Structure 1
Amino acid sequence: MEKSPLKKIRILLARFTSGLDQRLSLILLCLAIVGFCTFLSASQATPVSIEDELRNLALSFAVMWIVSRIPPKWLELAAVWIYGFGVALLVAVAAFGLIKKGARRWLNIGVVIQPSEIMKIAMPLMLAWYFQKREGIQKSWDYGIAAVILAIPVFLIARQPDLGTALLVTAAGMYVIILAGLPWKWILPFVGVGFFGIVLIVIFGNTICAPDIAWPFVHDYQKHRICTLLDPSSDPLGKGFHTIQSMIAIGSGGLLGKGWFQGTQAHLEFIPEKHTDFVFAVFSEEFGLLGNLILLALFFALIKRGLAISAGAPNLFTRLLGASVTMIFFTYAFVNIGMVSGLLPVVGVPLPFISYGGTALVTLGFGAGILMSIHRHRRLVQS
């Protein structure tokens, strides 16, 4: 008896989704729907099209599906090659990369790509591989070697300059190093130095933020971002414009928001980069506090599910890799929402599966695919 078209579709869909973690898939689908709906509003009067966003989402989920089929053992074997390829691309960017807005971050290989995005996945892959190889014979100096592995791409990315991506790659690597057992006595001094630096900036902000004061190892635009965070009104039409307008948009959303396509800050062009880095401001204005709580609940569910998959992973490599990828999602969301809300300096960090993007969205899809792969192959990986 010939199968009906509807039954054929159900069979094909079942085959396509077999092995995928249902809870994680549902969370990602909800985030993608929220992101697409927000994009429809935020992309008004921008050069990007609906077709571009649909293509990026389709490519991201296609990458996720493909990676979910790759056994973690294969990822472990490819880790060094992926890391080396990523570093080679960063060197190529430094040599003859494209310059946009004063930064050399892109490479034209027929299509324009941003190689630094690759390191957000290559870094935890490489470090998880290294600590897996050192399991049982790990020494204190292994953390020093891991720090060198981390420092090479971070240095190349920071020189572009791209502080936001450099911080994300650093975070991705540090998650692996800490989860691999880095002693707290080595962590606390860095935490103390960071806390002391923040206190100095807050107390003596007016003095050290003066135009004639230079900060060592920090570009002027990076210094301005930090100083603007302390007082956005000090440069309301310049460096503080982004922060001021995004905070106005978030506040004007109120409890229930102004409604889809009804955000005045976005549609009167007060919010810059409204479909990418500042898409959360558009979402907040149109869907209000209630929408924000729902979005935060989705991100919380994503992180919780990712950590649960990592906790059930069968060996050190998959546990470190899964937990690090999950915490990358957390870092993306935390930094983006923090900067749009005026709690963190403005850096180029997209909101996962909500912001418009090409390379970044594919990177996120790759990370989600890793979690799917760990879940799918958890009984097949030998501990």
Structure 2
Amino acid sequence: MIKRRLWQRFVAHLDPVLLTLLGLLLLVSLVVIYSASGGNWFRVLAQMTNILVACAALWIVANMPLHYLMRAAVPAYLLGMVLLIAVAFFGEITNGARRWLNIGVTTIQPSELMRIAVPLMMAWYFEKHEAMLTLKNYFVATLLLLLPVALIARQPDLGTAILIAASGFYVLFLAGISWRIMLTFLVIIMASTPFAWSTLHDYQRHRIMMLLDPAQDALGRGYHTIQAIIAVGSGGIFGKGYLNGTQAHLDFLPERTTDFIFAVYSEEFGLLGNIVLVSLYLFVIARGFVITANASTYFTRLMAGSITLTFFTYAFVNMGMVSGILPVVGVPLPLISYGGTSMVTLLLGFGMLMSIHTHKKLVQT
């Protein structure tokens, strides 16, 4: 009886439907990474370690009362901003980008923290001003979003900047920003495109040009896109079979365990496998929307909706990038690609979703 009660307390704040769907995606991750790495068990075990750490983070956050999440909003945002500023001055340069900060015992990528901290901060801000939202409030919230996005884009890390901008936009949208304001912003963005193009780094402009015609530099900047498209197309309807993909196993496909792992999956499992994978993603997103619709407060609705829509953006951008319909921006396939930082960030978000679902009443502080 005691063991049963302990087990019930352990799983009390875990949503079984969402947990099952996430578990299936994580299982797919281990299976595909084994193939993409050429049967490298050390890479698989490293991914299992990443998953265990991320699941521990999910459980901790899922058991965290909602007023604790609200309390964490401002400190997390301020800490993230301080770390981003520190990266700008003292960050380590790798492959021409200054994204990592050495804190002695390890190196961290502060931009990953902002994937959670930015929508959390914006949701907290709108919660505090829910009674009377004005144009000023939307302006302040937009400023809270643009500051970290500008610092991250400057590193440069366009992929992460786009994802954080998307997560913040979703909070603005769910908070009820008017269509006229959104259309005004869209017109301003379109009008500033020539200026924005001139501020891009050379490699970013080349990536956009490669989207239009990757064959113009087939062995250089267009190589990633061409090889990924070949892998996806050669899978056909049924795929070539597990461990039988030629693009990956003959070393044609670069970054095959991280950004381009979807190409490995598509080649081996084909269109039918893609339908299964996309269905899993859609079920996760649908469950997220159910939790969002049933959220009990303004803060939790904004946060749950942003987490769900940002997860959709992750998947859409990566699949579009690998399929050749979007430029290469270095976004991993969520819960499938190898990597610890992204895995922890994503499962932290799902831990928040589970907390929102199981802690119905928000205690005001």
Fold shared per TM-score above 0.5: yes
Is structure 2 residue 153 aligned with structure 1 residue 158? Answer: yes
Task: Name the CA distance, whole Å, in 1 between partners of 2:345 and 2:298.
Answer: 23
- 1:293-372 matched pairs, under 5 angstroms: 293-372=275-354
Deviations 1:151-173 (A, max 9, x none): 11111101100000011111111
| 1:76 correspondence with 2:66 | no
Hey, what's the Cα distance between the residues in 2 that align with 1:339 and 1:228? Answer: 11
Q: Distance in 1 between matches of 2:234 and 2:358?
A: 44
Give the corresponding residue for 1:89.
83
Indicate if the aligned counterparts of 2:67 and 2:362 stay in contact, CA closer than 8 A: no
Match of 2:140 among 139, 145, 162: 145
Matched, 1:34 2:28: yes
Instruction: Tell me, in whole angstroms, the C-alpha distance in 1 between the residues paired with 2:173 and 2:196.
Output: 33
Cα distance in 1 for residues equivalent to 2:35 and 2:166: 32
- Which one is further off, 271-280 or 46-55? 46-55
Could you say what secondary structure the match of 1:215 adopts? Answer: helix
Q: Which residue of structure 2 aligns with residue 260 of structure 1?
A: 242
Distance verdict in 2 for CA 1:229–1:46, change over 3 Å? farther
Q: Which runs of 5+ in 1 are unaligned?
A: 201-212
Q: Relative to structure 2, which stretch is displaced further, 110-119 or 367-376?
A: 110-119
Q: 2:179 aligns with which of 181, 184, 202?
A: 184
Q: Which amino acid aligns with 1:327?
A: L
Identity over aligned pairs, percent? 54
Shift of 1:214: 10
**Does the CA-based 8 Å contact 2:158-2:329 persist in structure 1?**
yes
Q: Which is worse superposed, 104-113 or 67-76?
A: 104-113
Assess, with a 3 A threshold, how the Cα gap between structure 1 residues 47 and 346 changes in structure 2: closer, same or farther: farther
Conservation of the 8 A alpha-carbon contact between 1:309 and 1:322: yes
Partner of 1:207: none
Q: CA deviation at 1:191?
A: 3.5
Shift of 1:19: 2.2
Please name the residue that 1:241 is paired with.
Answer: 223
Aligned-residue CA RMSD in angstroms? Answer: 2.3
Specify the alignment match of 2:267 in structure 1. 285
What's the CA shift string for 1:212-264, capped at 9, x where partnerless? x9932211111101110000101101111000000000011111111111110
Query: 2:30 & 2:5 partners in 1: Cα distance?
Result: 27
Deviation at 1:150, TM superposition (A): 0.7
Give the Cα separation in 1 of the matches to 2:241 and 2:10. 36
Change in Cα spacing, 1:380 to 1:191, as seen in structure 2 (3 Å) is closer
Aligned residue pairs: how many? 364
Q: Is the CA contact (8 Å cut-off) linking 2:21 and 2:283 kept in structure 1?
A: yes
CA distance in 2, matches of 1:244, 1:70: 45
Aligned to 1:232: 214
